[in-house]
Amino acid sequence: MSDNPGESGWHAELDQDDLTEDRVPADPMALFAAWFEQARAADLFDPTAMTLATADPLGKPSARTVLLKGFDDQGFRFYTNYDSRKGREINANPHAALVFWWDRLERQVRIEGEIVPIPPADSDSYFASRPRGSRIGAHASPQSRVIADRQTLERAYEQTAERFGDNGPVPRPAHWGGYNLSPRAIEFWQGRRNRLHDRLVYRRSDQRWRLQRLAP
């Protein structure tokens, strides 16, 4: 099995030719914004889904899918339980990677950088916008911890819901909030025929982005 998307199944049927050095912007965030809007228009199941890879202090990796909740020149934001496995690993080793795979477009974006918690006020604002059930669940679930069974989780949810009442406020728990990944490298991958895929990577150096082409 190949480690390259497009090796099996799609075979670069789209054969887009626009990922060339003379046709991309100097700022990778502008290119990401354009690709993201195209992904949103492509009727994908969820174009915000991204793989987040972290590692513990010994370098042992783990990966999972999270949802992108915003991006700008400062980086890419997502939210989680700070006490989860990913939260603990980020706290111990604040370097991580993200991967977007948009199959219908035969495009992949790989991002590497440093992660820091976002300001508490921003986490408060986003938490308040979530459905009430999700807010209660954030209090009830000890994310990534071993629990006895499904019933244990459901009882915890019911007890938490009872504690807050039907209409009482559900504040953000201290163990839940957002992170921002500030990119130091962003690679754009686009499928092409004959495995001659396009790969352009932007690397940040001295506050500037340097563009390079990688062999597929």
- Average of per-residue pLDDT across 137-150: 90
Instruction: Give 2 or 165, the one with higher predicted confidence.
Output: 165
Confidence (pLDDT) at 5: 56
Of 34-43, 100-109, 139-148, which range is least confident? 139-148
Question: Domain of 40?
Answer: 21-126+175-213
Whether 163 maps to a domain, the answer reads: no
| Residue positions forming the annotated binding site for substrate | 69, 126, 130, 134, 195-197
Active-site positions read: 195
Q: Does residue 2 have a pLDDT over 80? A: no
Whether 92 maps to a domain, the answer reads: yes
Whether 7 maps to a domain, the answer reads: no
100: left (phi over 0), alpha (psi -120 to 50) or beta: beta
Whether 165 maps to a domain, the answer reads: no
Write the DSSP assignment of 151-204 as a string of letters: HHHHHHHHHHHHHHTTTS--PPPTTEEEEEEEEEEEEEEE--GGG--EEEEEEE
Confidence (pLDDT) at 60: 96
Whether 16 maps to a domain, the answer reads: no
- Average of per-residue pLDDT across 158-176: 93
Please tell me whether residue 50 adopts helix, strand or coil conformation: strand
Write the CATH number for 83.
Answer: 2.30.110.10
> Which DSSP helix (H) or strand (E) runs through 136?
helix 132-140
Q: Structural domain tally of the chain? A: 1
pLDDT band at 17 (very low <50, low <70, confident <90, very high): confident
pTM over 0.85: yes
For 209, list phi and psi in degrees, rounded to 5: -100, 135
pLDDT band at 168 (very low <50, low <70, confident <90, very high): confident
User: Are the CB atoms for 80 and 52 separated by under 8 Å?
Assistant: no
Instruction: Give 188 or 2, the one with higher predicted confidence.
Output: 188
Whether 90 maps to a domain, the answer reads: yes
Whether 133 maps to a domain, the answer reads: no
| Residue positions forming the annotated binding site for FMN | 64-69, 79-80, 85-86, 108, 143-144, 189, 199
pLDDT band at 8 (very low <50, low <70, confident <90, very high): very low
Which pLDDT tens digit goes with each residue over 191-216? 999 899 999 999 999 889 999 999 99
Whether 170 maps to a domain, the answer reads: no
User: Are the CB atoms for 50 and 98 separated by under 8 Å?
Assistant: yes
| Residue positions forming the annotated binding site | 64-69, 79-80, 85-86, 108, 126, 130, 134, 143-144, 189, 195-197, 199
- Average of per-residue pLDDT across 183-193: 96
